[in-house]
């Protein structure tokens, strides 16, 4: 498959596809206007709602679980174009991805959090999209590494070590039980990007990136001893400025760990290093 095919994906590589849904926050579009515009692009199982965390005029578009089909990808592209046409803004908005986590064991979740923490500076810079900085209001999508590493020192490989991340919308990674009881099983992994966007190619890059990360965890394609060694030896108390600096060594380690093909690595590198999103030519 040539690069052009990757940029014009008609579905997600079945080797990494995990059932997922989107929550797309946006501002600058009044609810009634947004509802009318988007209702022609979505099916009845999508929801257009308001969100109190957003600036006045902010709305949130919530998808159902999306099938791995050309129709799903085409619908996302049409939604993206609509948001661009109506001038959506993202001062306090993020882009959220929810993945099926029904089959993740406690050990899987622990190593997901360890790997996310180790490479969080890379993930953060990548997740700002094509911007070199984050939105000014960052009370949501906060880093998890310092919080998780502190709890891990007390509770080690138990559920208590990540209790603060369960059903907590403040962090870049949240573990959701789909109930109000934090003791229930984890059913969904939610990833939040620090910057919201209406860019279709960024959406696809995020879907592929986080799908690849979770697939690596599910298939246990990591060296557990190496991850433990790095995790236990790291200092996770970094400033936001440090989180956004280029870390070539960690970026290449992460790409080698999660991606199956050189084309996806190249797309990741373009966004991470150069803040360029490759689009259809």
DSSP codes, 69-112: SHHHHHHHHHHHHHHHHTT-B-TT--EEEEEE-TT--HHHHHHH
> pLDDT value at position 281?
46
> pLDDT value at position 137?
58
**Is 150 inside any structural domain?**
yes
Dihedral of the CA atoms 89, 95, 150, 256 (nearest 10)? Answer: -120
Over residues 35-45, the pLDDT tens digits come to: 999 988 999 99
Total of domains in the chain: 1
**Is 212 inside any structural domain?**
yes
Rounded to the nearest angstrom, the gap between the alpha carbon of residue 133 and the centroid of all alpha carbons in its chain is 17
**Is 280 inside any structural domain?**
no
**Is 112 inside any structural domain?**
yes
Contact 10, 70 (CB under 8 A): yes
Tell me how far apart the alpha carbons of residues 103 and 88 are, in angstroms, rounded to a whole number.
36
**Is 196 inside any structural domain?**
yes
> pLDDT value at position 240?
81
Range(s) of the domain holding residue 196:
94-273
Over residues 143-166, the pLDDT tens digits come to: 999 999 999 999 999 999 999 999
Per the DSSP assignment, residues forming a β-bridge with 23 are: 62, 96
E strand spans, the chain: 20-26, 47-50, 59-62, 95-100, 173-176, 188-192
**Is 130 inside any structural domain?**
yes
What angle separates helix 224-233 from helix 106-118, to the nearest 10 degrees? 50
Per-residue pLDDT of the chain (281 residues; tens, 9 = 90+): 556 666 778 889 999 999 999 999 999 888 888 899 998 899 999 999 987 777 766 899 999 999 999 999 999 999 999 999 999 999 888 999 999 999 899 999 999 999 999 999 999 999 999 887 666 656 678 999 999 999 999 999 999 999 999 999 899 999 999 888 888 999 999 999 999 999 999 999 999 999 999 999 999 999 999 999 999 999 887 788 888 899 999 999 999 999 999 999 999 999 999 988 877 64
pTM over 0.85: yes
**Is 60 inside any structural domain?**
no
**Is 176 inside any structural domain?**
yes
């Amino acid at each position: 498959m040539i690069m052009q095919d990757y940029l014009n994906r008609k579905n997600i590589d079945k080797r990494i596809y995990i059932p997922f849904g989107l929550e797309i926050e946006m501002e600058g579009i009044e609810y009634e206007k947004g509802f009318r515009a988007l209702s022609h692009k979505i099916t009845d199982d999508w929801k257009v709602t308001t969100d109190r965390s957003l600036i006045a005029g902010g709305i949130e578009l919530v998808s159902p679980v999306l099938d791995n089909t050309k129709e799903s990808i085409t619908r996302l592209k049409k939604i993206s174009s609509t948001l661009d046409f109506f001038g959506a803004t993202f001062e306090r908005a993020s882009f959220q991805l929810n993945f099926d986590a029904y089959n993740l064991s406690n050990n899987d979740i622990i190593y997901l959090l360890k790997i996310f923490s180790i490479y969080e500076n890379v993930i953060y810079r990548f997740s700002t999209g094509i911007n070199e900085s984050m939105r000014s209001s960052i009370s949501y999508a906060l880093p998890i590494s310092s919080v998780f590493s502190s709890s891990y020192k007390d509770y080690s490989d138990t559920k208590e070590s990540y209790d603060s991340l369960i059903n907590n919308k403040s962090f870049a990674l949240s573990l959701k039980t789909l109930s109000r009881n934090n003791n229930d099983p984890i059913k969904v992994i939610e990833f939040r990007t620090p910057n919201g966007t209406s860019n279709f190619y960024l959406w696809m890059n995020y879907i592929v990136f986080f799908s690849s990360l979770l697939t690596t965890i599910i298939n246990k394609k990591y060296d557990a001893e190496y991850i433990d060694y790095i995790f236990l030896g790291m200092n996770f108390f970094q400033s936001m400025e440090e989180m956004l600096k280029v870390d070539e060594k960690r970026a290449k380690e992460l790409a080698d760990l999660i991606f199956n093909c050189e084309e996806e690595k190249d797309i990741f590198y373009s966004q991470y290093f150069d803040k360029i999103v490759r689009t259809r030519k």
